């Protein structure tokens, strides 16, 4: 039985465009850029500033944890709140399927100190959140997931999913899924579709889209007052740094397997692998039925089973994307062209001294379940195409610097710092930081180690391996039995003046070990 359903990319793009009334005549006539915001906090011209990064946080109460991991990380961020200007969220705001009814428990309550009226979080509705410290997310895959038809019918009959599966697992699927990302859009985006009359829309645009740039007007994001995002992907400048937030859920489809003898063999292997995974899921569900969540000696076994089940479900989604031979691969070419043009403009704009990109799916990662997924390789390939095109256009303007200073991702449930080597493409010598361990079940590093290689064909037609990236830091689940450690994490990033800028990365880690929380000191590292 499938636990999640991933909408088609074309549906994601279409639905999200409708929600922000993409290129509505009232927006076009006002020359509004729907992909840009100005963060109006009175400090955005300061070249020295700090910000926080979290990701893959949106889980509720973990059985046996006091407090739950997401709340523990939020509490560790509170002492940094006054010194940090905003928080980036790398996606998966709500597990398991982005349902709106879980925003209260899985987002509002854990982050209540960052919300207007947070002293009474139960009175805040998910679609009327106002942030006192800006939380700037991008959607993760779980923020788009829906319930498969069978589970939707189960929810309508009010039969608890645990009873259906005879399971003790905390699956957090709710009554429905994200409705193709609608809950995320209502929570964070400027949901212009809600305006029923042209007059209402015009009044809203004239009130909140008052910031001006060289491209016209754009949304003014005002902490404590108006904190909506203009679109699912967007850009803003702070302290001379251009930030680019992407929706990688619409360019992560792997190319179809070729209609060759080798392609047919690969399909058979994938189908066999999928069947084995379904058997493992059933075994996990049966095993969980024998455990008792109120028994301290068994509660961590349930957490491990929950982790394994979610891992399997994501691998099945990846396999299904590869096996879907009946549909054409869709790529969000509009968004990728937007990124290309904005990066080119960034390099041609005086006063821009650095560039940061953040999106959900990591192109480079050594977490055991993600490093060789087809989606990982698809994201890597498409981002390379964009950066190669940008490099060709900007030429010597970079002065030998990488095109991008930093890339933040989520999706892999760990904290990791990687650096690309000479990849043969314009993504060489970039620093990549995976921040996906802020609340949901953690994962281990792959047994193959920290070096990532690729196979390429030489000019003489020979196949050779090339080192493309190396992991410098990996913080994830480790140890066995009573020595098992679960280090949850987020980041503080201090940006220093100068061009190029210096980034001081400060990991913030809370480790669950032997049924207690322990603060773990990780030495900061510098990127410049």
For residue 224, tell me if it sits in a domain.
Answer: yes
Residue 433 domain flag: yes
The sign of the torsion formed by the CA atoms of 188, 193, 196, 200 equals positive
Rounded to whole angstroms, the Cα distance separating 74 from 523 reads 20
Averaged pLDDT, 459-464: 82
Close Cβ partners of 11 (under 8 Å, ≥ 6 residues apart): 180
pLDDT level of residue 158 (50, 70, 90 thresholds):
very low
241 and 495 Cβ atoms separated by less than 8 Å: yes
Non-local (6+) Cβ contacts of 113 within 8 A are: 74, 78, 81
Instruction: Please check whether residue 282 lies inside any domain of the structure.
Output: no
Contact 68, 61 (CB under 8 A): yes
Res. 166: pLDDT tops 60: no
Residue 279 is assigned to a structural domain of this protein: no
Q: Of how many residues is the chain composed?
A: 528
On the question of pLDDT at 444 being above 90, the answer is yes
pLDDT in tens, 407-427: 999 999 999 999 999 999 999
CA separation (Å) from 94 to 57, 79, 101, 395? 7, 25, 10, 41
Asked whether residue 470 carries a pLDDT value surpassing 50, the answer given is: yes
- Report how far residue 377's alpha carbon sits from residue 208's, in angstroms, rounded to the nearest whole number: 39
- Give the residues across from 241 on adjacent strands: 238, 354
Question: Is the pLDDT score of 294 beyond 60?
Answer: yes
Cβ–Cβ contacts within 10 Å for residue 469, how many? Answer: 24
% of the chain surpassing 70 pLDDT: 94
User: Which tokens is 463 given?
Assistant: 């196949």
Q: Is residue 318 part of a domain?
A: no
Residue 383 in contact with residue 332, Cβ under 8 Å? no
What gap in Å lies between CA 73 and CA 67, rounded to an integer? 10
Stretch among 139-153, 331-345, 471-485 having the lowest mean pLDDT? 139-153
Angstrom distance (rounded) from CA 31 to CA 473: 45
Please say whether the beta carbons of 262 and 294 come within 8 A.
no
Between the CA of residue 274 and those of 16, 20, 199, 260, 281, what are the distances in Å?
31, 37, 52, 21, 11
Residues 6+ apart with CB under 8 A from 402: 428, 429, 430
CA–CA distances in Å: residue 366 to residues 358, 414, 448, 452, 526:
18, 10, 9, 8, 21
CB atoms within 10 A of CB 122: 9
pLDDT(157) > 60: no
* CATH (domain of 29): 3.60.21.10
Which secondary structure element, helix H or strand E, spans residue 485, and what is its range? strand 485-495
Which of 136, 38, 134 is CA-nearest to residue 84?
Answer: 134
pLDDT recorded at residue 255: 85
DSSP H or E run through 511: strand 503-513
User: Could you tell me if residue 293 is inside a domain?
Assistant: no
3-class DSSP state of 409: strand
The whole-number pLDDT of residue 173 equals: 63
- Positive or negative CA dihedral for 193, 197, 198, 200? negative
Average pLDDT over residues 172-198: 90
Q: Is the pLDDT of residue 27 over 70?
A: yes
Token couple for 14:
């279409």
Query: Residue 8 pairs with which residues in a beta bridge?
Result: none
Specify the number of domains making up the chain.
1
Mean predicted lDDT score pLDDT of the chain: 92
Is 260 a domain residue?
A: no
C-alpha to C-alpha distance for 244 and 237, rounded to whole angstroms: 9
Q: Is residue 1 part of a domain?
A: no
Torsion of CA 76, 82, 88, 91, to 10 degrees: 40
Please tell me the distance from the alpha carbon of residue 11 to that of residue 316, in angstroms, as a whole number.
21
pLDDT at 1: 64
What count of other Cβ atoms lies within 10 Å of the Cβ of residue 1?
Answer: 11
* Residue-level pLDDT at 175: 65
**Arithmetic mean of pLDDT, 105-111:** 96
- The span from the CA of 184 to the CA of 181, in Å, is 5
**pLDDT above 90: percentage of residues in the chain:** 76
Q: What is the mean pLDDT of residues 195-217?
A: 95
The CA distance from 1 to 150, in Å, is 9
What phi and psi values does residue 102 have, to the nearest 5 degrees? -95, -5
Q: Which domain holds residue 99?
A: 9-255+325-527
* Two tokens, residue 245: 């937030």
pLDDT at 90: 98
Whole-model pTM?
Answer: 0.95
Whole-number Å distance between alpha carbons of 144 and 179? 7
Inter-residue contact 394 to 347 (CB < 8 Å): yes
Q: What's residue 304's pLDDT?
A: 82
Q: Please give the Cα distance from 255 to 331 (Å, whole number).
A: 10
Dist CA 275 CA 375 (whole Å):
20
Sheet containing strand 354-358, strands side by side: 211-213, 216-221, 32-39, 234-238, 241-245, 354-358, 406-409, 431-435, 415-420, 463-475, 451-457
pLDDT, tens only, 78-97: 999 999 999 999 999 999 88
What is the model's pLDDT at position 156? 45
């Amino acid at each position: 039985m499938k636990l999640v359903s991933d909408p088609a990319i074309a549906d994601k793009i279409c639905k999200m465009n409708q929600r922000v009334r993409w290129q509505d005549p009232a927006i076009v006539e006002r020359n509004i850029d729907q992909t840009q915001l100005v963060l109006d906090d009175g400090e955005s011209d300061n070249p020295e500033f700090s910000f926080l990064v979290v990701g893959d946080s949106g889980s509720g109460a973990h059985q046996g944890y006091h407090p739950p991991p997401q709340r523990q990380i939020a509490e560790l961020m509170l002492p940094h709140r006054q010194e940090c200007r905003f928080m980036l969220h790398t996606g998966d705001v709500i597990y398991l399927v982005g349902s709106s009814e879980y925003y209260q428990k899985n987002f509002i309550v854990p982050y209540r100190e960052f919300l207007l009226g947070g002293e009474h979080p139960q009175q805040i509705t998910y679609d009327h959140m106002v942030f006192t410290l800006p939380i700037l997310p991008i959607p993760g895959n779980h923020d788009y997931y829906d319930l498969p038809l069978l589970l939707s019918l189960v929810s309508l009959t009010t039969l608890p999913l645990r009873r259906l599966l005879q399971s003790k697992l905390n699956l957090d699927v709710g009554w429905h899924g994200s409705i193709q990302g609608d809950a995320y859009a209502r929570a964070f985006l400027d949901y212009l579709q809600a305006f029923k009359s042209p007059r209402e829309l015009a009044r809203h645009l004239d009130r909140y889209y008052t910031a001006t740039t060289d491209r016209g007007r754009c949304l003014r994001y005002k902490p404590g007052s108006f904190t909506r995002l203009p679109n699912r992907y967007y850009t803003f400048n702070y302290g001379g740094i251009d930030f680019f937030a992407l929706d990688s859920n619409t360019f992560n489809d792997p190319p179809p397997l070729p209609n060759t003898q080798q392609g047919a063999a690969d399909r058979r292997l994938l189908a066999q692998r999928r069947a084995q995974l379904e058997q493992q899921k059933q075994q996990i569900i049966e095993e969980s039925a024998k455990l008792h969540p109120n028994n301290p000696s068994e509660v961590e076994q349930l957490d491990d089973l929950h982790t394994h089940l979610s891992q399997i479900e994501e691998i099945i989604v990846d396999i299904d994307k590869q096996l879907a031979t009946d549909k054409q691969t869709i790529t969000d070419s509009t968004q990728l062209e937007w990124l290309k043009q904005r990066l080119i403009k960034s390099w041609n704009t005086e006063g821009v001294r650095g560039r940061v990109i953040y999106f959900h799916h990591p192109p480079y990662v050594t977490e055991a379940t993600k490093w060789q997924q087809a989606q990982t390789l698809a994201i890597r390939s498409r981002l390379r195409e964009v950066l190669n095109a940008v490099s060709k256009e900007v030429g010597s303007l970079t002065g030998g610097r990488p095109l991008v200073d930093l890339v933040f991702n989520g999706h892999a449930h760990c904290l990791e710092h990687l650096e690309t080597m000479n990849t043969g493409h314009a993504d060489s010598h970039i620093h990549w930081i995976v921040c996906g361990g802020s609340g949901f079940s953690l994962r281990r590093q792959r047994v193959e180690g920290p070096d990532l290689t690729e196979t390429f064909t030489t000019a003489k037609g020979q196949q050779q391996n090339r080192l493309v990236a190396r992991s410098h830091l990996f913080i994830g689940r480790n140890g066995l039995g009573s020595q098992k450690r679960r280090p949850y994490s987020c980041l503080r990033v201090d940006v220093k003046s100068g061009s190029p800028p210096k980034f001081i990365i400060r990991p913030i880690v809370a480790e669950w070990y032997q049924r207690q929380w322990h603060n773990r000191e990780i030495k900061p590292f510098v990127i410049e």
